[in-house]
Amino acid sequence: MGAGKILIIIGALLTLVSTFFLSFFVNGSDLGSGLGFVFNIADIMANPGNYVPGETMIVYIVAIVYIVFLISGVLQLLGLASRVIAIIGSIIVLAVSILMILTLLNILTAYTPYLTLLISSPIVPGILPYNLSLGSMGSLGTYTLLAGGVLGLVGGILGLED
């Protein structure tokens, strides 16, 4: 198996674990995670003004981007058949993780209200999603998500040759 395929597999697995099993940040007693967004989708589509008042259309657009982000780990795995799909899936992961990191570091404060789309109560407190807080820098999930995107992108660029 070629190095590109191995990197794509590792990147996709990191992306999937980060998205669905780790938290990205802490908001009081609630956590921001991919699972939080999954549980919020119906309410976001029904009541977008509750999340970011006055920005209904932008909330819908961000929600669609987050939905694509949720399947980006699967896109990376599908990239084992076509490197273009791996690169697209990785770029989505990189974009979302970099936006989160810049927001958590108070560099991109205009994006802060849109992170509320990811917030929900833990499903099993202390276990799912798992939170290893890094203080004001967010949580472990944000950085493993970034690593999964980088590995998937490098693997896609290297190619699928054996």
pLDDT in tens, 115-131: 999 999 999 988 999 99
Is the pLDDT reported for residue 17 higher than 90?
yes
Query: Does the pTM of the predicted model rise above 0.85?
Result: yes
- Which positions ≥6 away from 54 have C-beta within 8 Å? none
DSSP 8-state secondary structure symbol assigned to residue 118: G
What stretch of H or E contains 102? Answer: helix 83-104
Number of domains in the chain: 1
Q: How far is CA 120 from the centre of its chain?
A: 15
Return the percentage of the chain with pLDDT > 70, whole number.
99
Tell me which residue range forms the domain holding 74: 3-158
Strand order in the sheet with 30-32: 25-27, 30-32, 119-120
Q: What is the distance between the alpha carbons of residues 76 and 90, in angstroms, rounded to a whole number?
A: 6
